[in-house]
Amino acid sequence: PRGASLTDFAEKINVEPAQLVQMLFSLGEMVTATESVNEETLQLIGEELNYIVQVVSPEDEDRELLESFDIEFGEDEGDESDLVVRPPVVTVMGHVDHGKTKLLDALRKANVVAKEAGGITQHIGAYQVQTEVDGEDRRITFIDTPGHEAFTAMRARGAQATDIAILVVAADDGVMPQTIEALNHAKAANVPIVVAVNKIDKPDADPTKVRGQLTEYGLIPEEYGGDAMFVDVSAKSELNLDKLLEAVVLTADASLDLRANPDQDAQGLVVEAHLDRGRGPVATVLVQRGTLHVGDSIVAGPAHGRVRAMLDEHGNELSVADPSRPAMVLGLSAVPGAGQNFIVVDDDRMARQIAEKREARERAAMQAKRRVRRTLEDFMAS
């Protein structure tokens, strides 16, 4: 891992960073825990602990596994003409208590389609809303786990679910440390930002101040000649939510080319998953390309199975899920992890084979961690 610190590495092999610092010191290498370590140092640690250190990322390893089954993850297949516009996938980020949860709830509630369907909304980790922009019906998918923890957890797995980030800033509080953190995460991921200046119903709200503050961080409002859209909202009073949705669509149209080929085997990401007492493992997946069908053979992380049923965020059964659509999938053999990928494969047998290989690899990695830990303890004791 280029640029990874000794602490990162220690975490990977499940030992205390201080132990590695100490060991390296006794070998004549002065390295602090936060310092990034090069491959030679990792090799040195490996030699000392009698391990072969191979610098391979889990993502590369998985890519190789899939290649051996002639599967490529993430690429659209087909011609340019097969691609159709897909809804943007949005993550809501911002400082604690600035209204991320309230905003996600308000947007879900404001959705006309949900009202018409009359279904009871349930939390499945993501939802889709419909809005009208320039007389056209447009859809937006929201990842319903606010905060940049989920965002970074996915990115750490090499997964990018988010197309656009809504940065929520409370107009009474202004820019706070986690506002900047969220901003930096979005920038690092190269994800365009729409700013929701929230709580404008409050008497001490100062949306102009928020604009000035973010300008200092290089996020310049359109009205000041920049390219970021700022929308004053109140999640509580449900004010300007349609304007916020419009800003998301306009930002997507202006700076992204969001298209996917729906006529191919589905692939995407697991947003969240859990074990349901009655239904067994359930996973909310986000389809990123292709169309997912009931009956498809899929592998999701170390889980496999046939899609027995799919539900949307209103509890309605779906027979298909198109690009950017979140769907709760029933029929998996186990509970996959958030951020792991799912892939439709030719048949159940292939799904099981891939899942078994992944599971074996996860098990081996765990055992290796335990062995390294024991060997390191011996080294320290001697």
One character per residue 75-94, x = contact with ligand GDP (rule: CB under 6 A) = -------------------x
Query: Which one of 102, 148, 211, 358 is in contact with ligand GDP (CB under 6 A)?
Result: 102
Q: How far is CA 165 from CA 153, 154, 365, in A?
A: 15, 14, 34
Minimum distance from residue 150 beta carbon to ligand GDP (Å): 13
Is 178 a residue that touches ligand GDP (CB under 6 A)? Answer: no
**Per the annotation, does 322 bind a ligand?**
no
Give the CB-nearest residue to Mg ion.
Answer: 101
**Per the annotation, does 101 bind a ligand?**
yes
User: Which tokens in the block code for residue 370?
Assistant: 């335990």
Tell me the window of 1-9, 28-36, 110-118, 233-241 that interacts with ligand GDP (CB under 6 A).
Answer: 233-241
Is 207 a residue that touches ligand GDP (CB under 6 A)? Answer: no
Is 201 a residue that touches ligand GDP (CB under 6 A)? Answer: yes
Count of CB atoms situated within 10 Å of the CB of 295: 11
CA distance 298 to 163: 24
Q: Give the nearer residue to ligand GDP in terms of CB position, either 31 or 165.
A: 165
Minimum distance from residue 156 beta carbon to Mg ion (Å): 21
Query: Which one of 14, 43, 101, 130 is in contact with Mg ion (CB under 5 A)?
Result: 101
Which residue has 């060997």 as its token pair?
A: 375
Q: Give the nearer residue to ligand GDP in terms of CB position, either 94 or 302.
A: 94
Q: How far is CA 33 from CA 7, 9, 27, 381, in A?
A: 5, 10, 15, 21
Is 290 a residue that touches ligand GDP (CB under 6 A)? Answer: no
Count of CB atoms situated within 10 Å of the CB of 286: 23
**Per the annotation, does 100 bind a ligand?**
yes
Q: What sections of the chain are H helices per DSSP?
A: 6-12, 17-26, 39-48, 58-67, 100-110, 112-117, 148-156, 177-188, 207-216, 241-255, 348-381
The set of residues, in sequence order, having a beta carbon less than 8 Å from that of 233 and lying 6+ positions away, is 103, 196, 197, 198, 200, 239, 240, 241, 243, 244
Q: Give the nearer residue to Mg ion in terms of CB position, either 101 or 375.
A: 101
**Per the annotation, does 148 bind a ligand?**
yes
**CA 242 centroid distance within chain:** 25
How big is the site for Mg ion, counted in residues (CB under 5 A)?
2
Closest CA to 301 of 277, 275, 323, 283: 283
**Per the annotation, does 98 bind a ligand?**
yes
User: Which tokens in the block code for residue 366?
Assistant: 């765990």
Q: Is 347 exposed, middle or buried (0-12, 13-18, 19+ CB in 10 A)?
A: exposed
Is 97 a residue that touches ligand GDP (CB under 6 A)? Answer: yes
CA distance 159 to 138: 25
One character per residue 119-158, x = contact with ligand GDP (rule: CB under 6 A) = ---------------------------x------------
Query: Which one of 56, 84, 96, 156 is in contact with ligand GDP (CB under 6 A)?
Result: 96
Query: Which one of 131, 141, 162, 198 is in contact with ligand GDP (CB under 6 A)?
Result: 198
Q: What residues are designated binding site?
A: 94-101, 144-148, 198-201
What are the residues binding ligand GDP (CB under 6 A)?
94, 96-102, 146, 198-199, 201-202, 234-236
Q: What residues are designated binding site for GTP?
A: 94-101, 144-148, 198-201
